[in-house]
A and B are shown apart, each in its own frame.
Chain A
């Protein structure tokens, strides 16, 4: 028996030997505000106060709490410092997805109790042990500093587009009430343990499963491929669906599922997977592109000869002729690594049977796609499947694919009981998608006047064992590899190559960050060879209104790249002067300034990509927005509501948000391709406008009339006239709505022809980054000192959220540039796989550019993925500027940078 005080109340518990305090708090005492991200002290999400000291609950034996005080975020509700922090976190948008927020806030409370007015350095030292993957940390630092030095609250009473308001869903996050994938299952629910391949490629034989089940108390059942009622196959792109829920006979990557045990939590906790009745045989595998392309290589999939899954191609003009005629050419090869999404919330969910239907509560970016995939796996009509997304503790692309969902569904179907499944950090890293490693060869020419003359790009992408989003990456890259520039003579070809690695999939940018590394660093080389200023060189070649892209698409408006580049000019001049002065004084530490640009098309490439948004007015006057666009931290709940409120003409704070839930919200598509603000935002605008039109029509009011809702009526003020619509006198539909509007928006695109010519996207967003770095030339250590980021977002629906996206994207680009490299079997945890901490992220100055887009809601463009596209090449250009070496293999770790410096010195 262990007795202690939890959040001021005495508690008593009987932990097992070796039980972690985090588990006891969550699973015996119901403190689900304590989040588990790694179970190894690497992420700090489980930070609690033990007698006032921040500790990782996952590293604390529960018995050590005996007789002591434990505080979680929930227990600090009445604490004055915590109350001020909550307000401050809301005002700065310091919580995005919210999964790290409880750990961060608890650590911040401990700091502020000891030091009420800390310096920035002290904040970093105190909070550096909590990882955040969304915010880029700067908003967190600002929010903590603002407790002692308050700033004005974001309390705009209307909150229409263009206004920085607090997240509408933020309060639950800062109070620790947000329920994520692992937070909804009742205590004691049956759990699922997946048996995974220890080898990249293996043959296996399952043993006596019936005997295993009957021999072990607590084992409810075992699931294998034989339990799948429908097809043992899924994939986000139907034509390429190739991934089994459970491998049959042979596995294709380390960590692939072959079976699953459904059992009590007590059994699962103690079970060693080596005791599962089966045998493994390690088979010859291919893990690199080179190996996979060898003639003798084992073939992963029938019909994909030579392990080549698919390719992409865009061509215009005469690239070879233009290169031949160029005054100067540059050419180089580049490689990038697998990059892990490293959201702090591992995949998790809960499922149950409700009146003959399967109900799945899990973290996801794409509830309808989850349901579509389960229809096929379960051979069950969509009407019998309900997907209720939980809070999503970060996604960045990997939670577009199925993870826990099929196992949850199969387990609850087979047992008829509620079940839960939470991936361990290692399982999450082993089995979910990554950014594609790329091998890129690029040649670019230019004329003496600086105009580009010929561009030839070839990229192989390691797509791993299964298709996932590989086709999208190979498709998108040729369209984007030009960067936001006019290139008349262009050829870009890509290939997705299968290997026995985990599937590569979607990760913020779909391959474009990799191609931008090649293109933007070679642009700097061209500029240097031409003796031109790197910014000027880009401006000369930048796209503009009326200028065709490499796909032959011409935008008459909304091309904001020149504005982004020009916005960087003051910093470009000032920072280079500062760097020159610094370098004159320093021999070993060298400062460099780099810049890079990027663009990104919003939504699916030349494919239908609709979103539907429904709204209604209840008889009591409540305005309800059915908002099915998944908010994974980026802010869709707030942005979509702001757009809707603007269109309808009411304060955003008065809207009641519903969803996402496949029973409640129509299909707002997936949260990917930076499409929610643009596509779902447009659907919300249309829904708000339709609702408004219906109301105005009811009383024949003019278009400029004002609306007020409440107390069972709508008051329409039309100039001198005031109309009152008594809602109780109107018929209500089956959902209780007296007015309703369900509207769909689909971006106007056109297919690409065999040369990639057409209209791939209805809009692009544009960006340019400047970074200042220092390179410790003796150690190869690169440190980013400052970013200036100019982003053309068309119209900033919520400038605070725009800054949040920019800072968070930059942090991910920084990680990709300097430290992130996933190696299967070697970096399957968050201490060997490094992402930036609070100490790695410098200040970011965000310059919001608004070149309105004709298609975007109120001119708005997508933003999420655009951000990290220029970051890595800007850093590489800055490294060169600092110390004269070109790094072409990412990440630019200290060892690689130092080796390059030594090589250059020879």
Chain B
């Protein structure tokens, strides 16, 4: 029974290497997952690890440290390409959740309805993983491998989310569908980053959908079809083919597929305004 809250990454990674431990930062997914019964033997609290919190701009891209909270993102000075991520941050749970929950934790938790995943996919984010063996970087699309499954290996933890350079004038938007305001798990959500050329034609489009497949998906065929248009693209079943929505308490698969097309239209419009 240990609780270890190191202030540096080396100690954290060393601890991860020596025993199976639950990594905790905000706790907003860790505690709700606890059932009646024994608590985890060991907890590694990374919230005090120096250098892991905050957003920095480096070599044209951005580094979002693993303990950066949703509130940190909302308050960070970021270009318009991040507006979708900020909108998602504002819709995560509640202010209380945003104040402690982290983006990295949202990825590691790997819920199909994780609010952070679609906007980060639309930003083509990568995930930086570290262990005593070294550091590796995976595209977000390869990091989350299934429902509640990630590519994290034993002894490894997420240290940062890396966002590559975005087109200079890119705009972004996010739309979340839920049965109520606040404290709601998404029925479906869409994030988009769109850039237009001087003539107003789309020359960069990244559109991602969450809660409509085991892992949130980008829609490459739609992104391709948007190029060169003014966003007046009819959304087809081909565009939506990466999606495989299930039916659950929040809505039927049929409904999700129907609603998500509308959400995509609104999000693209929102990111093109």
Contact = CB atoms under 8 A, between A and B. Distances in A.
Interface of A: 15-20, 39-42, 44, 47, 53-56, 58-61, 63-64, 66, 107, 124-126, 128-131, 193, 269-274, 424, 778-781, 818-819, 821, 823, 826-827, 831-832, 834, 836-840, 893-895, 898-899, 902
A40 B32 contact: yes
Q: For B32, B182, B252, which residue has the most chain A Cβ atoms within 10 angstroms?
A: B182
Contact of B251 (A826, A832, A895): A895
Given A17-B42, A41-B32, A827-B249, A60 B1 contact: no
A193 to B, nearest CB: 8
A59 to B, nearest CB: 5
Given A271-B36, A819-B179, A836-B180, A59 B31 contact: yes
Given A40-B32, A779-B259, 14 more contacts: A17-B2, A41-B93, A59-B30, A59-B31, A61-B27, A61-B43, A107-B95, A128-B94, A272-B35, A778-B262, A823-B249, A831-B185, A894-B251, A894-B255
Closest 8 CB pairs of A and B: A129-B94, A839-B181, A18-B39, A272-B37, A128-B182, A895-B251, A40-B32, A895-B255
Contact of B3 (A61, A778, A899): A61
A55 B181 contact: no
Contacts of B251: 893-895
Given A54-B99, A60-B27, A271-B37, A821 B249 contact: yes
Contacts of A272: 35-38
Nearest to B69: A53
Nearest to B181: A839
24 contacts: A16-B39, A40-B32, A41-B28, A42-B32, A44-B183, A56-B28, A56-B97, A56-B100, A64-B27, A126-B95, A128-B95, A129-B96, A193-B36, A270-B37, A274-B37, A424-B36, A821-B249, A827-B249, A832-B185, A838-B181, A840-B181, A893-B179, A895-B251, A899-B254
B166 interface: no
Interface string B1-23: 11101000000000000000000
Interface in B136-160: none
Contact of B97 (A41, A779, A821, A834): A41
A86 B179 CA distance: 32
B249 A837 contact: no
Interface string B66-108: 0000010000000000000000001001111101100000000
B255 to A, nearest CB: 4
Contacts of A124: 181-182
A894 B179 contact: yes
Contacts of B131: none
B238 interface: no
A39 B32 CA distance: 7
B154 to A, nearest CB: 20
Interface string B169-207: 000000001011111110100000000000000000000
A840 B90 CA distance: 16
Contacts of A269: 39
B37 to A, nearest CB: 3
Contact of B255 (A53, A834, A838, A898): A898
B232 interface: no
B93 A839 contact: no
A59 B26 contact: yes
A59 B32 contact: yes
Nearest to A588: B262
A269 B39 CA distance: 8
Contact of B1 (A16, A56, A63): A16
Contacts of B96: 41, 44, 47, 54-56, 59, 107, 129
Nearest to B40: A18
Contacts of B258: 898, 902
B182 A837 contact: yes
Nearest to A66: B5
B263 interface: yes
A20 B45 contact: no
Contacts of B97: 41, 56, 59, 129
Contact of A781 (B24, B37, B177): B177
A44 B94 contact: yes
B259 A129 contact: no
Nearest to B253: A895
Nearest to B260: A779
Given A64-B45, A779-B262, A839 B182 contact: yes
A273 B36 contact: yes
A273 B36 CA distance: 7
A891 B180 CA distance: 13
Decide if the interface of chain B is mainly helix, strand, loop or mixed. Answer: loop
Given A126-B95, A129-B93, A895-B252, A834 B259 contact: no
A898 B251 CA distance: 11
B153 to A, nearest CB: 24
B67 to A, nearest CB: 11
A872 to B, nearest CB: 15
B43 A17 contact: yes
Contact-size category for B: 35 or more
B257 to A, nearest CB: 11
A17 B3 contact: yes
Nearest to A838: B182
A821 B95 CA distance: 26
Contacts of A819: 179-180
Contacts of A125: 90, 95
B49 to A, nearest CB: 13
Contacts of A193: 36
Nearest to A2: B3
B34 interface: yes
Contacts of A126: 95
B266 to A, nearest CB: 8
A834 B47 CA distance: 31
A55 B182 contact: no
B41 interface: yes
Interface in B51-74: 71
Contacts of B100: 55-56, 59-60
B37 A894 contact: no
Contacts of B184: 834, 837
A39 B31 contact: yes
Contacts of B32: 39-42, 59, 831
A128 B181 contact: yes
A12 to B, nearest CB: 15
A271 B35 CA distance: 10
A273 B31 contact: no
Contact of A834 (B31, B90, B95, B180): B180
B3 A780 contact: no
A464 B8 CA distance: 56
Contacts of B38: 270-272
Contacts of A839: 180-182
A782 to B, nearest CB: 9
A270 B181 contact: no
Interface in B114-142: none
B50 to A, nearest CB: 15
Contact of B259 (A20, A44, A894): A894
B5 A780 contact: no
Q: Which of A19, A63, A126, A272 has the most CB of B within 10 A?
A: A63
Contacts of A780: 255, 259
B183 A837 contact: yes
Q: Identify which of B41, B177, B183, B184 gathers the most chain A CB atoms within 10 Å of its CB.
A: B183
Given A42-B183, A899-B255, A54 B37 contact: no
Contacts of A41: 28, 31-32, 93-94, 96-97
B150 to A, nearest CB: 21
B3 to A, nearest CB: 5
A758 to B, nearest CB: 43
A54 B97 CA distance: 9
A128 B183 contact: yes
Contacts of A902: 258
A723 B251 CA distance: 74
A128 B91 CA distance: 11
